[in-house]
């Protein structure tokens, strides 16, 4: 049951591993680069080897890279779409160089053109990835989003269909399930029955074997609010009991977990990790 957090790469990529080690993380997630700018420069070979070495020494698994927020693989605007696909491929190249296990991406927004258009755009992007021989060392994971507006990817069945389509293109992809986003998108998960139903839905729509990473976040917004605002575990609208039920589920507790909870003080990450580990320890004893 690997548990870890999203750590900062400030000062150099390898420092993100040191930060994860300090928090006794088993798994970790980073941005491969500044997630808010388009500009891309390859990572220096010395930085790549330092990252790989530190990661190896730390024994961290899995290493997850999250793509830039700017990327819109569903974009109806040709220029924006091309830029997005280029940056996505560059990020995947970096992820493979660094030896990352997974590259997590959101699927963007087709604006008024709808889900069918989004799927065609994403398929074209994925075809480009396979054509360049990418996506074999690092597995691409589609993350479910909080929904709202014209964004694509809040519906688990849509993600599942895309995973299948990718397989037809010769690309083995998976899903990253974010608890806050699912709750905000309208998936109930507060009672035992609801958690049972949720896991069944995930299995039916995506397949549990395709869920490679879980983003554990409580939610500031209510069920169906479409609000992508993360909260500390147990302190949001999902609540501690729901996390206890979810993390104790036999199909869920062994999936690698990453916390993307707020970091306002240095105590925040240790506290959230303690809460999650406490639940997992108890559920293990009961097993």
> Which window, 42-50, 175-183, 241-249, 274-282, contacts Zn ion (CB under 5 A)?
175-183
Which residue has tokens 């983003």? 215
Q: Check if 143 is active-site.
A: yes
Residue 128 burial class via C-beta count within 10 angstroms: exposed 0-12, middle 13-18, buried 19 and up = middle
**Other C-beta atoms lying within 10 Å of the C-beta of residue 125:** 21
106 binds Zn ion (CB under 5 A): no
Task: Assess 97 for contact with Zn ion (CB under 5 A).
Answer: no
Which among 6, 19, 54, 106 is annotated as catalytic?
106
Tell whether residue 218 is a contact of Zn ion (CB under 5 A): no
Quick one: which segment of 91-99, 196-204, 221-229, 279-287 binds Zn ion (CB under 5 A)? 221-229
What is the number of the residue whose Cβ is closest to Zn ion? 215
| Catalytic residue flag (residue 97) | no
Q: Verify whether residue 215 is a known catalytic residue.
A: yes
Decide if 155 is catalytic. Answer: no
Question: Among candidates 244, 285, 242, 276, which has minimal Cα distance to 258?
Answer: 276
Q: How many residues bind Zn ion (CB under 5 A)?
A: 3
* Among 55-63, 80-88, 226-234, 235-243, the segment contacting Zn ion (CB under 5 A): 226-234
Distance CA 158, CA 147 (A): 12
Q: 253: closest CA among 223, 270, 277, 226?
A: 277
- Answer yes or no: are the C-beta atoms of 103 and 166 closer than 8 Å: no
Q: Is 228 in the site for Zn ion (CB under 5 A)?
A: yes
Please indicate whether residue 228 is annotated as part of the active site.
yes
Q: Does 178 bind Zn ion (CB under 5 A)?
A: yes
**Distance in angstroms (rounded) separating the CA atoms of residues 244 and 252:** 11
* Smallest distance from Zn ion to CB 66, Å: 8
Nearer to Zn ion, 101 or 178 (CB): 178
Contacts of 105 (CB under 8 A, 6+ apart): 66, 67, 71, 73, 88, 140, 141, 142, 143
| Residue numbers at the binding site for Zn ion (CB under 5 A) | 178, 215, 228
Known catalytic residues are 36, 66, 69, 106, 143, 178, 181, 215, 228, 230, 260
């Amino acid at each position: 049951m690997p548990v870890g957090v999203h750590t900062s790469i400030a000062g150099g990529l390898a420092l993100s591993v040191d930060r994860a080690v300090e928090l006794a993380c088993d798994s970790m997630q980073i941005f491969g680069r500044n997630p808010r700018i388009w500009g891309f420069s390859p990572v220096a070979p010395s930085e790549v080897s330092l990252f790989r070495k530190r990661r190896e020494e730390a024994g961290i698994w899995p290493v997850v890279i999250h793509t830039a927020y700017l990327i819109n693989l569903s974009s109806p605007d040709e220029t924006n779409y091309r830029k997005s696909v280029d940056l996505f491929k560059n990020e995947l190249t970096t992820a493979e160089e660094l030896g990352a296990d997974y590259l997590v991406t959101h699927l963007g927004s087709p604006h008024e053109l709808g889900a069918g258009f989004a799927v065609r755009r994403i398929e074209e992007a994925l075809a480009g990835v396979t054509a360049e021989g990418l996506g074999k060392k690092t597995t691409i994971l589609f993350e479910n989003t909080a929904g709202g507006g014209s964004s694509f990817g809040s519906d688990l069945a849509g993600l599942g269909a895309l995973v299948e389509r990718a397989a037809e293109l010769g690309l083995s992809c998976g899903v990253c399930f974010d608890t806050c986003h699912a709750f905000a998108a309208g998936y109930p998960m507060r009672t035992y029955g609801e958690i049972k139903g949720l896991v069944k839905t995930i299995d039916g729509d995506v397949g549990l074997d395709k869920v490679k990473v879980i983003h554990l976040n409580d939610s500031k917004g209510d069920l169906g609010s479409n609000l992508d605002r993360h909260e500390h575990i147990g302190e949001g609208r999902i609540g501690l009991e729901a996390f206890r039920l979810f993390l104790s589920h036999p199909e869920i507790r062994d999936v690698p977990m990453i916390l993307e909870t707020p970091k306002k003080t240095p105590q925040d990450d240790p506290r959230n990790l303690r809460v999650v580990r406490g639940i997992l320890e108890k559920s293990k004893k009961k097993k």
